Amino acid sequence: MRHGDFARSREARYSQENALRGSAILTRPYIHPDAKSALHCDGVSLEALARRFGTPLYVYSAGHIAERLGLFERAFSGIPHVVCYAVKANSSLGILRLFAQRGAGFDIVSGGELERVLTVDRHAAERVVFSGIGKTAAEMDLALRSGILLFNVEGEGELELLSERAAKLRRRPRMALRVNPDVFAETHPYISTGMREHKFGIDIRRARALYKKAGKHLEPCGVSVHIGSQIRAADPFGAAAQRVAKLIAELRKDGHAIRYMDAGGGLGIEYHAERPFDAEAKVREYAAALMPAAESVGGITLLLEPGRFLVAQAGALLARVLYVKKNGAKTFVITDAAMNDLIRPALYQAYHEIVAVAPRRSSRKMVADVVGPVCETGDFFARDRELPPLKPGELVAILDAGAYGMSLASNYNSRPRAAEVLVEGRRARLIRRRENVDDMLATERLATGL
């Protein structure tokens, strides 16, 4: 997403580019359609959505999500593949339904995420890949009974437990080992996962020995890798895929019928408005890095697990300014959204563009911290950010918040979680109502007689 002030320059350029490639969807769904209008998501005014549904409010563009999925389908059309959306990025049922309706698969990391997928479409289980290092027996049983596509096994103990549960339920599930190729990917250390010192997966050098331990109750048919998240260069993906391809060739010599290469996810986006970002070119580069490795071994279905790339730039967090406060030389813009709604800036020092929803005629600027009302100094969305002058009651949009926003939300400070709206063209649909106090207290019991 990008700020609406570039409407007349960037919108014109994007419209021309999209016309040339036959797409009617702008690169960003959040625009000012003209100099006199407020920020829109596709054909719907954010001001109107705030009046109707209140704030804080997550707003998503269905068209943008569909377009991003289409980029992957086109780029990988030359090889058998399944795009398995990473549910952890945004697990809202309305978002999952969009992907299910378009035949996408799903990458899950918990039994709860599987339940969400099954709620949307029980038949989608056959396109589910189950990753994660802490699968419980109950989660395995649910996945076994549901008939998922593939278990990505991340350790020897998990391999043994999966074999036991499969024998108990008289199933023979397909499985892959998630290997660590020891490829460095430049990203935040909290979301780098492909090195031997990380908790995920197993050392690629031990893989052949562990595949031999799979036993008669499991079907070893794939190799999985995931080197991290928010990776913006294609080369690390290619290097990891080449190492996996070499392992697949060795495993086939050992007698294993390997037919899936799970390349994981992690393709990054650009959060800064002033930096150029061509989503279609990025996906093409990604495909060019992965496909040669898959084609080199032949007979492979490539599994892809994008999350952030599909949904992040489709979403924004809409907030209302409560106060503008000065403490000495510092100015604070205090909004009704907080770190419990969007924790990425506090957790990762992540950058998000913050824009005024109403158009600005003035060239004047203010420098301020944009913060929430939570009782933590770490409750901020931006520090020392240059913004148009803002006043209490005005609306701001925190952009590129469709991934790891609502999915990481909490009730910290006993704050109800935000509502979510999905925009499809000129139609806005509530896909999650705003929480209330009764919702927050529903699972608790007041102890008496102590």
Q: Are 175 and 191 in the same domain? A: yes
Q: Are 174 and 289 in the same domain? A: yes
- The domain spanning residue 174 has which CATH number? 3.20.20.10
Give domain status of residue 404, yes or no: yes
Q: Are 146 and 274 in the same domain? A: yes
pLDDT in tens, the chain (450 residues): 333 322 222 233 333 333 333 333 335 688 765 556 789 999 899 999 999 999 999 999 999 999 999 999 999 999 999 999 999 999 999 999 999 999 999 999 999 999 999 999 999 999 999 999 999 999 999 999 999 999 999 999 999 999 999 999 999 999 999 999 877 555 434 344 434 555 668 999 999 999 999 989 999 999 999 998 889 899 999 999 999 999 999 999 999 999 999 999 999 999 998 888 899 999 999 999 999 999 999 999 999 999 999 999 999 999 999 999 999 999 999 999 999 999 999 998 999 999 999 977 777 899 999 999 999 999 999 999 999 999 999 999 999 999 999 999 999 999 999 999 999 999 999 999 999 999 999 999 987 665
Last residue of a domain, one of 262, 279, 306: 306
Q: Are 331 and 182 in the same domain? A: no
Q: Are 141 and 272 in the same domain? A: yes
Q: Are 201 and 335 in the same domain? A: no
Q: What is the largest CA-CA distance in the chain?
A: 73
Indicate the pTM of the whole model. 0.90
Domain residues for the domain of 229 are: 131-306
Last residue of a domain, one of 248, 276, 306: 306
Q: Are 253 and 340 in the same domain? A: no
Q: Are 297 and 177 in the same domain? A: yes
Give domain status of residue 120, yes or no: no
Contact 181, 244 (CB under 8 A): yes
Q: Are 241 and 318 in the same domain? A: no
Q: Are 255 and 403 in the same domain? A: no
Q: What type of residue sits at position 286?
A: Y
Last residue of a domain, one of 280, 306, 332: 306
Signed CA dihedral, 409, 413, 416, 418: sign only: negative
- As a whole number of angstroms, the distance between CA 317 and CA 57 comes to 6
- The domain spanning residue 391 has which CATH number? 2.40.37.10
Q: Are 233 and 329 in the same domain? A: no
- As a whole number of angstroms, the distance between CA 230 and CA 228 comes to 7
Number of domains in the chain: 2
- Check if 84 is active-site: no
Residue 21's alpha-carbon distances to 14, 33, 256, 285, in angstroms, are: 11, 21, 43, 17
Q: Are 171 and 300 in the same domain? A: yes
